[in-house]
Amino acid sequence: MMTSDQALIAVTQTLAKGREMGLKPLSAIVLDAGGHPLAFHRADGASPGRYAIAHGKAYGAVMLGMTGSQQMDRAEAQHYFMTAANGVFGGAVVPVPGGILIRDDAGAVIGALGVTGDTSDNDAKAGLAALAEAGLNGDA
């Protein structure tokens, strides 16, 4: 299990990593293993809709048990499957990198980090670096 404090550290560290890396202002969310928000932070200068994008990246990862990269691959190969999957989840899934599964040491999914604001690849890099500092295992 992930604690509320670990979730907050992962989120604030993601925004800090973004500043260190010179990225655009980031927004980050951590969801628990049931897809429910534990912590969120949006940097000054980020656009107002960033909560929904960050949430969508993390939510798809938890609900499908697939990383953002895996979801993007599936969307490229079989777009109607990801469209349909999104339909059954109320349109709440954003299937691109920046949706990062958080795993315990046995590999079980204990939540997800969603990052948005720069390119999807940079979002994922900042998130992975932040999870490492928070002592959590990220799978992007």
Contact positions vs a copy of itself (CB under 8 A) = 3-5, 8, 12, 29, 32-49, 51-53, 55-56, 62-66, 72, 75-76, 78-96, 108-109
Using the minimum distance from each CB to a copy of itself, give the nearer residue, 44 or 105. Answer: 44
CB of 62 to a copy of itself, least distance (A): 7
Using the minimum distance from each CB to a copy of itself, give the nearer residue, 78 or 133. Answer: 78
CB of 58 to a copy of itself, least distance (A): 12
Torsion sign (Cα): 70, 75, 78, 82: positive
CB of 21 to a copy of itself, least distance (A): 18
CB of 140 to a copy of itself, least distance (A): 17
Using the minimum distance from each CB to a copy of itself, give the nearer residue, 75 or 134. Answer: 75
Number of neighbouring beta carbons within 10 Å of residue 97: 22
DSSP string, 51-88: HHHHHHHHHHHHHHT--HHHHHHHHHH-HHHHHHHHHH
Residue 40's Cα: distance from chain center in Å?
A: 11
Using the minimum distance from each CB to a copy of itself, give the nearer residue, 88 or 105. Answer: 88
Angle between helix 68-77 and 120-133 (nearest 10) = 150
Which amino acid is it at 34?
G
